[in-house]
């Protein structure tokens, strides 16, 4: 899901000023955000205590929701620029449409990766005939300056690398992990992995000491470096780790997010990432006038209008706490 809040506020992201250069255990609680009439997500990034993890700059966890008698996810066409969206499911299906003409149903543990580049628009919805439960995460990756004006594109990867050891199955979503590389296009040194742990698992996952990491709990009972992390919460781990102890009290699902700390300072407003006030103002004008971001064909409904810009100027800043 994307940012559908009607009272959007700018987020201050980027810069190395608040990267923790040593191992830490910083538990992040979610902010509950209503999307539409009945849907609610748990927003972990941006967070009052942590704005980014590597290039990961937006994390929503949703479900499991019983949508047997509901329409399920219904996200009308809306724009993006300067980022990649990562759609990741544990249960259910999401039908993706975008302005490049892509039409794809994304299923559990398949990667839906959309690179907005300079401009794209898309919609997300549960198919008319859908599974009873919907459970997943929506994430954004900030594009570095040298790639943020690239052509928009969508990738779907149903066959992803899997790293296994007794008690753990790690599906690589993006970037690299333990010698495996995702087929998804990455523009910064990054890691995204889905970790399925069996009850009683006690394992150590290899990490890159120059990366900063966080772990999002999707389901079950797990301890991450000795800290219990409940579903819908995320533990920030800092840098300087070569391995990560994981222990499961039950079958558990986690997501490992990491990457080289993102140096650039950003403005994130609504569904756009830019570097200046003028870029955001122009993006809003282009979307409202129906130019630049293209058209999503086939969605039964109107596009989302952009929220009003704040009265105070938008300025790129570093990481804040």
pLDDT by position in tens, the chain (length 321): 455 554 555 544 544 445 667 899 999 989 998 775 557 899 999 988 788 999 999 999 999 999 999 999 999 999 999 999 999 999 999 999 999 999 999 999 999 999 999 999 999 999 999 999 999 999 999 999 999 999 999 999 999 999 999 999 999 999 999 999 999 999 999 999 999 999 999 999 999 999 999 999 999 999 999 999 999 999 999 999 999 999 999 999 999 999 999 999 999 999 999 999 999 999 999 999 999 999 999 999 999 999 999 988 888 865 543
Neighbouring residues of 42: CB distance < 8 A, sequence distance ≥ 6: 30, 31, 32, 33, 60, 61, 62, 232
Distance CA 253, CA 19 (A): 26
| C-alpha distance from residue 171 to each of 220, 241, 254 (Å) | 17, 20, 11
Distance CA 95, CA 159 (A): 18
- Please answer whether residues 50 and 236 qualify as being in contact, where contact means their C-beta atoms are separated by less than 8 angstroms: yes
- What are 103's two structure tokens? 């039409």
- Please work out, in degrees rounded to the nearest 5, the angle formed at the alpha carbon of residue 280 by the alpha carbons of 275 and 282: 125
């Amino acid at each position: 899901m994307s940012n559908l809040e009607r009272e959007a506020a700018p987020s201050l992201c980027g810069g190395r000023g608040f990267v923790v250069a040593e191992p830490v255990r910083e538990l992040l609680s979610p902010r509950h955000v209503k999307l539409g009439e009945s849907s609610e997500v748990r927003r972990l990034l941006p967070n009052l205590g942590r704005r980014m993890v590597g290039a990961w700059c937006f994390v929503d966890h949703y479900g499991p929701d019983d949508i047997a008698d509901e329409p399920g996810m219904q996200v009308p066409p809306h724009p993006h620029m300067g980022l990649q969206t990562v759609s990741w499911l544990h249960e259910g299906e999401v039908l993706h449409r975008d302005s490049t003409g892509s039409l794809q149903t994304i299923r559990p543990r398949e990667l839906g990766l959309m690179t907005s580049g300079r401009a794209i628009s898309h919609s997300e919805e549960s198919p008319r005939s859908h599974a009873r439960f919907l459970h997943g995460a929506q994430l954004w990756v900030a594009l570095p300056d040298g790639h943020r004006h690239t052509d928009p594109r969508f990738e779907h990867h149903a066959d992803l690398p899997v790293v296994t050891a007794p008690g753990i199955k790690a599906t690589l979503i993006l970037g690299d992990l333990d010698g495996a590389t995702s087929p998804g296009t990455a523009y910064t040194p990054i890691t995204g992995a889905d970790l399925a742990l069996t009850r009683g698992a006690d394992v150590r996952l290899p990490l890159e000491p120059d990366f900063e990491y966080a772990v999002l709990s999707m389901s079950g009972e797990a301890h991450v470096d000795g800290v219990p992390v409940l579903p819908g919460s995320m533990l920030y781990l800092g840098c300087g780790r070569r391995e990560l102890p994981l222990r499961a009290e039950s079958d558990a699902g986690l997501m490992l997010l990491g990457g080289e700390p993102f140096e650039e300072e950003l403005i994130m407003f609504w569904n756009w990432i830019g570097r200046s006030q003028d870029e955001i103002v122009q993006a809003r004008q282009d979307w409202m006038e129906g130019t630049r971001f293209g058209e999503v064909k086939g969605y039964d409904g109107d596009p989302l209008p952009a929220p009003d810009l704040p009265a105070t100027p938008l300025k790129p800043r570093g990481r804040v706490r």
